[in-house]
């Protein structure tokens, strides 16, 4: 595993991450123009992109999930936006310790979220797996006594229950939410 540090001041800029192959970008049909899209990489992973990237056509950028980065801040004068968010063409993320611009960030519509450390601005260092680090973010709650997830088509609809035995749910509709509500008929 590696951790990234600022080349100027040595401040930690990421959590320990493991090198993986750079995945292909998600298909355009999976991405949304009106919501925040998922990150390109899973948490706890990073990749090296040998293709030219950004306005300066840098090669060898370190690609991380934005949630794995620590100790940085945006340089608002350098942020470039597309439809509604950052496009990542120029570096706009600085080290919080010394102010050196170390990365670019992209999360605009039609693209997966990513943060790219520029290779000359960061130093990767080897680190051991932290013994108390949990790789699965839900591992600590996986054994909680929870019901299965609600997979019904209309999740907001209350589950059919029989609080009084003399009332019986008699009909579920087929198409819309209004019709999906059950009705209780009085006993005959």
Neighbour-count burial for 90-112, b at 16+ CB within 10 Å, e otherwise = ebbbbbebeebbbbbbbbbbebb
Tokens (6 digits) for 72: 């940085």
Domain positions in the chain: 1-129, 154-188
Which position has the higher pLDDT, 110 or 127? 127
Length, in residues, of the chain: 188
Tokens (6 digits) for 27: 């298909």
Among 145, 149, 146, 154, CA closest to 180: 154
pLDDT of residue 60: 94
pLDDT of residue 102: 96
The reply to whether CATH 3.40.50.150 applies to domain 1-129 is no
pLDDT digits (tens, 9 = 90+) for 34-44: 667 788 999 99
- Phi and psi at 170, nearest 5°, equal -105, -20
Which three-class secondary structure state does DSSP give residue 184? strand
Residue 81 predicted with pLDDT over 80: no
pLDDT digits (tens, 9 = 90+) for 131-163: 445 555 555 444 444 555 555 565 555 555 544
Record the pTM.
Answer: 0.66
């Amino acid at each position: 595993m590696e951790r990234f540090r600022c080349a100027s001041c040595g401040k930690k800029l990421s959590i320990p991450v493991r090198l993986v192959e750079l995945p292909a970008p998600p298909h355009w049909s999976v991405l949304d123009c009106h919501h925040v899209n998922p990150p390109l990489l899973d948490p706890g992973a990073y990749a090296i992109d040998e293709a030219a990237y950004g306005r300066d056509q840098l090669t060898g950028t370190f690609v991380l999930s934005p949630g794995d980065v620590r100790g940085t801040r945006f340089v608002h004068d350098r942020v470039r936006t597309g439809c509604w968010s950052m496009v990542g063409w120029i570096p706009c993320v600085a080290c919080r310790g010394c102010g050196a611009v170390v990365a670019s960030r992209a999360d605009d519509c039609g693209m997966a979220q990513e943060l790219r450390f520029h290779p000359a601005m960061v130093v990767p260092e080897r680190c051991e797996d932290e013994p108390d680090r949990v790789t699965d973010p839900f591992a600590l709650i996986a054994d909680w006594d929870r019901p299965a997830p609600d997979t019904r088509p209309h999740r907001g609809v209350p589950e059919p229950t029989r609080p009084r035995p003399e009332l019986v749910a008699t009909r579920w509709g087929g198409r819309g939410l209004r019709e999906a509500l059950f009705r209780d008929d009085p006993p005959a």
